[in-house]
Amino acid sequence: MAFFFDIVHVMNYIGNDQTSNVSEYQLNKFHELIASLFQCCQERMQYQSERFQLPDAELRCLGLFGKERYLTAKSIAHRMNVVKSRVSKIIDGLIKKDLIQRIKDPEDSRVQLLSLTPEGQKKINEINLFIEDVYSQVLSQIAPDQRQAMLTNLDILKASMEAVKEMMV
C-alpha cells in the first residue's frame, strides 16, 4: 500500500499544494483503512474462488460478461490489465469448463468473439447473487441513517483516487 504514500510525493512533484493540509495522522489512518479494506476484499475474492471452484482470474474474466454479450480476447486483456497470452490461458480454462464459447464475428471472420454459454450464464447469476448478498450484509451493518453519507463519501473517495491516477499518467 505504499502507493498511497507515493500519491503525496506525486502531487507535490506536479505542483499540487493540496497535500500540505494533510496531517501525518490522517495519512496514516487513510493508509491503514485502505490496506484493511483491500485485505478484506482479497479474502472475499479468495472465498468466492473456492466457493465457485474457479481461479480468481477466471472469476474476474467471467464478471466482465455481466454487461456484455460478446467480448474479444483483446478487450478482456485490456480490462483485466494482463497480456493477451495470459488471457488465452484464462479463456481456455473457461471453455474447458463450458462457461464461455468462441463464436466467429459475422462482420469479420478473422475475429473470434467470446460469449457465455448457458452454463456460464447460470454460473454468473449464482456469483452475482452471492455478491449481492455479501453487499447487503455489509450495508445492514451500517445504521440506515448513515448509509447515504457512507455512499456519498465512497463516491468522493473514488473521484479523488481517479483524479490522482489521472495526474500520474
Would residue 115 count as lying in a domain? no
Q: Does residue 10 have a pLDDT over 80? A: no
**pLDDT(152) > 60:** yes
Is it the case that residue 9 has pLDDT exceeding 80? no
Establish if 46 belongs to a structural domain: yes
Residue 84 has a pLDDT of 87
Q: How many domains in the chain? A: 1
Specify if 15 maps to a domain: yes
* Residue 28 domain flag: yes
Which phi and psi (to 5°) does residue 128 adopt? -65, -40
| Structural domain range at position 30 | 1-51
24-56: pLDDT as tens digits: 999 999 999 999 999 999 999 999 999 999 999
pLDDT per residue as tens digits for the range 53-67: 999 999 999 999 988
Domain assignment present for 56: no
In a domain, 37, yes or no: yes
Buried b (16+ CB within 10 A) or exposed e, 9-25: eebeeeeeeeeeeeeee
Beta bridge partners of 108: 105
Give the model confidence (pLDDT) of 66-93 as tens digits: 888 899 999 999 999 999 889 999 999 9
Output the pTM of the full model: 0.77
In a domain, residue 163? The reply is: no
Is residue 5 very low, low, confident or very high in pLDDT (cuts 50, 70, 90)? very low
Residue that wins the pLDDT comparison between 108 and 95: 95
Q: How far apart are CA 92 and CA 82, in angstroms?
A: 15
